[in-house]
Structure 1
């Protein structure tokens, strides 16, 4: 039997200002979907896995703070488990595999297929997964990878150098090259190298043996308890590049990693998303605006103009990835926007006089959702309902909530709000300066 583990971690900054530590790129609802609507990266991949008949054995691994958000964007149709910390793709894969073993859903002889959530591929790409269960024993390999023919000499992807493919539809792996420069990428393409799609398949027993060689526990609870002490390990470097019995299957169709503005905008249904426009000669430029104020670009080609609550980015497409280095060199401010299982929040203002902090935020609740009941011991709150209809509950006392209603929550009082229809409310927190209570901890 084969099980698919979809890795949903990561909070990369290459798609800033729309992605960051709270909202990962896989949740950006930008890709064209069947029927003319849009969908997120993770929604698209899960839909394709289901269409390929792989949904019954699918497990999603996300960071524990994004479990509810992952369920929201996948319709709660698949099991999701949360990592205690982000420790790389190898650790996440092991976490998922040991969960399957501990719950009795998988046995050591079963095949585990590991795949990332942030990719864009055609439907045939996922149908290839069905071949893995037979190809692993037929090839005598310990590890199977999926690669695709490079469309151009990319410096952003890893490469797999295969030997000559045999009649079984696979080839032994000779070597790997991680994100080479353009000259080396051209050489690799001449050697018939493939882009590494980040998809791996192996017996569960093989992964257990690898954990034991590293001196790591093979029990789910023990690995979970050890998580904060573990180093970051990637599956490529920890397993694939060290294995001498690996084979690669070639995918001839469409595939790309949507990890840059250049690759993502190539998949968008429109050059302009949001309020604003492109005017004059703006060939190959894209504008995405999440703000309510208009953004206009006039007579500039080949750029991205991206605006959101976290900031504004104007960049030549080929240079846009530099934002990751810029953000790393500059102090990171508190996130201004985030999404949760119940909706989203935007920080409107932060004011501090040295002893007191006043934080004002707009909360948007989805219909039928509630903010988890909580107690704030370090601040008082006021809620003003801006729109929608629902219920506010404070210390067990419920009150119907409608536009214009104002509610005050004292320190130590338990409180929650439930949305019967879509709701917006302004929240004002007043607490001590330096207090670490942050919206994203909800």
Structure 2
């Protein structure tokens, strides 16, 4: 029995403005109705696996928990990182946890933001990898290349190990175009997928030999872990003291037990808008379109419209992404360089670099409709059975108008219901709580007014989600 380890801690900045640091790409629905995380979980069907370990940033814990719930994954361990430290510490924590719980079968380590076109071929490759892992190998997957790609690292296959696997002769960093073409022609080089199958004991032995500082820090962090609601929080100080590194650099490039299984399954890491365009369906003019889009005399476009009509005329090979608060227009071939643009936004202190107009909370989400110096209007959606914290504000009053469902409102010591097309008023400084007692989402319009409207003017007196 394998233990899936889902790595869900990436930031996905190269898919800005859809992907933001507060809601990165693994939680987005980019190619179908399900999120990339949900697609990764569904990929496990048909494999001999137990409950997954999901490693994510603590800021994304409620996003991950809700998507696990929607995917019907009732048993999972949500392991929270206070900050990202790379894949080596994430795998070290998962291996230590599996060892502590007595799981001797291999870990199946999967990034949560990949695309696979042929999942049956993927499952066959996993079975082959598990056989190699049972013999003590640390197994990765080499994607059969379809072009001379300079954006990926490569593996060179060495001696055959039986069962379709090979020893890894060497790892190669992202090559120049000339080297990538030579790799493609040679036929023994594969794209490095970042997917692994390895037994916990073998992973920990390799970490002890090649990255002892990482293992020691993670061992201390797990020893000091605390359970918080449905989450497992490793010891913060110990984990933050852990060196940051990838599993490839920390272990796989140094061990003599590295093995690989070729993978021909339509793999993509969806690491850029160009990569997403390649896996999306196209119209007759090679355009990949989402939302309210009108294209005339245009070809080779990726156009994603979220909230309004986007029209194009006489253009080609562009990425055009429209959201509530930002529009990106980029040459499709240069979309790998988007990281620098986002870094500039962050340096300028632009909120658009981190947070989208729609903000997700454990109880639902809200979108800012209008804002001024002394007023703010939000569209709030509360999940069935969910409840906001019992709280007060020192500087603002709030008017709530219910447009769908029924709200249960507590104002000081009085609790009452507010139905559709009804409203209520929350004065400054009054203790209040909002809850959805119904079976359908509760939607309301909140109008805030006052001298200060920041989100830090919330004094939480009681919160079922453990927020301060």
TM-score (norm 1): 0.86
Render the CA deviation track for 1:360-395: whole Å, top value 9, x for unaligned: 4332334x1524324245543414235211223334
Distance in 2, matches of 1:429 and 1:238, equals: 53
After alignment, is 233-242 or 148-157 more displaced? 233-242
Deviation at 1:16, TM superposition (A): 0.8
Distance 1:383 1:188, change over 3 A: farther
Structure 2 match to 1:172: 167
Question: CA offsets, 1:214-249, max 9 Å, x none?
Answer: 232525233721123334322222222222220111
- Of residues 339, 342, 348, the one that matches 2:363 is 342
Among candidates 218, 229, 234, match of residue 241 of structure 2: 229
Return the match for 1:424 from 417, 436, 443: 443
The within-5 A match list for 1:386-401 is 387-394=403-410, 395=412, 397-401=414-418
Q: Is the 8 A contact 1:277 1:287 kept in 2?
A: no
**In structure 1, distance between residues paired with 2:162 and 2:293:** 54
Q: Please tell me whether residue 130 in structure 1 is matched to residue 149 in structure 2.
A: no
Post-superposition Cα deviations, 1:25-57, rounded to whole Å, max 9, x if no partner, equal: 12222323xxxxx22211112112124353x34
1:369-380 paired onto structure 2 within 5 Å: 369-376=385-392, 378-380=394-396
- Separation in structure 2 between the aligned mates of residue 210 and residue 70 of structure 1, nearest angstrom: 30
| In structure 1, C-alpha distance between the alignment counterparts of 2:96 and 2:429, rounded to whole Å | 41
**Is the contact between residue 71 and residue 80 of structure 1 (CA under 8 Å) also seen in structure 2?**
no
Match of 1:91 in 2: 89
Match of residue 361, structure 1, among 375, 378, 385? 378
After TM superposition, give the deviation of residue 396 of structure 1 in Å: 5.5
Report the alpha carbon displacement of residue 194 of structure 1 after superposing the two structures with TM. 0.6
Deviation, structure 1 residue 434: 7.5
Moved more, 392-401 or 121-130: 392-401
Q: 1:282 aligns with which of 290, 293, 298?
A: 298
Q: Does residue 405 in structure 1 map to residue 405 in structure 2?
A: no
Contact 1:389–1:419 (CA under 8 A) maintained in structure 2: no
Q: What is the CA-CA distance between 1:158 and the residue it aligns to?
A: 1.5
Q: Who is 1:58 aligned against?
A: 52
Query: Hey, what does 1:35 align to over in structure 2?
Result: none
- Aligned CA RMSD, in angstroms, stands at 2.7
Q: 2:327 aligns with which of 312, 316, 325?
A: 312
Q: Is residue 2:266 matched to residue 1:254?
A: yes
Larger mean Cα displacement after TM superposition, 73-82 or 154-163: 73-82
Report the CA distance shift for 1:389/1:144 in structure 2 as closer, same or farther (over 3 A). Answer: same
Counterpart Cα distance in 2 of 1:97 and 1:437: 41
Residue by residue over 1:399-441, the C-alpha shift from the partner in whole angstroms, topping out at 9 and shown as x without a partner, is 2232341331543624233263233333327464877469xx8
Kindly provide the CA deviation profile for residues 102-124 of structure 1, in whole angstroms up to 9, marking residues without a partner as x: 4x2x34x4322211011111212
Gaps of 5+ in 2: 226-233, 283-287, 459-466
Deviations 1:141-174 (A, max 9, x none): 3x11111111112222121111143433111111
Quick one: structure 1 residues 310 and 206, their matched pair in 2 at CA, closer, same or farther if it must change by over 3 Å? farther
SS in 2 for 1:39: coil
Q: Pairwise mapping of residues 184-195 of structure 1 onto structure 2 (< 5 A)? A: 184-191=179-186, 192-195=188-191
Distance in 2 (CA, whole Å) between partners of 1:361 and 1:2 is 45
Using the alignment, how far apart are the partners of 1:302 and 1:89 within structure 2?
34
Moved more, 153-162 or 339-348: 339-348
Q: Contact between 1:282 and 1:298, CA under 8 Å: does it hold in 2?
A: yes
Instruction: Select between 128-137 and 22-31 the one with higher mean Cα deviation.
Output: 128-137
Q: Secondary structure at the match of 1:163?
A: strand
More displaced 10-residue stretch of structure 1: 229-238 or 411-420? 411-420
Contact 2:358 2:367 in 1 (8 A): yes
Alpha-carbon spacing, 1:136–1:100, altered in 2? closer, same or farther (3 Å)? closer
Q: What SS does the aligned partner of 1:199 have?
A: strand
What's the counterpart of residue 196 of structure 2? 200
Q: Which among 102, 105, 112 is matched to residue 117 of structure 1?
A: 112
- Structure 1: distance between partners of 2:45 and 2:66: 17
Query: Residue 207 of structure 2 contacts residue 251 of structure 2 at CA under 8 Å; is this kept in 1?
Result: no
- Aligned mates of 2:394, 2:85 — CA distance in 1: 31
Q: TM-score, normalised by structure 2?
A: 0.81
Point out where structure 1 has 5 or more consecutive residues left out of the alignment. 33-37
Question: Pick from 53, 57, 67: which aligns with 2:61?
Answer: 67
Deviations 1:265-284 (A, max 9, x none): 233346322123212x2222
Q: Deviations over 1:183-237 (max 9, x none)?
A: 2222222342111111112221233345552232525233721123334322222
1: CA distance, partners of 2:122 / 2:427:
52
What's 1:20 paired with?
20
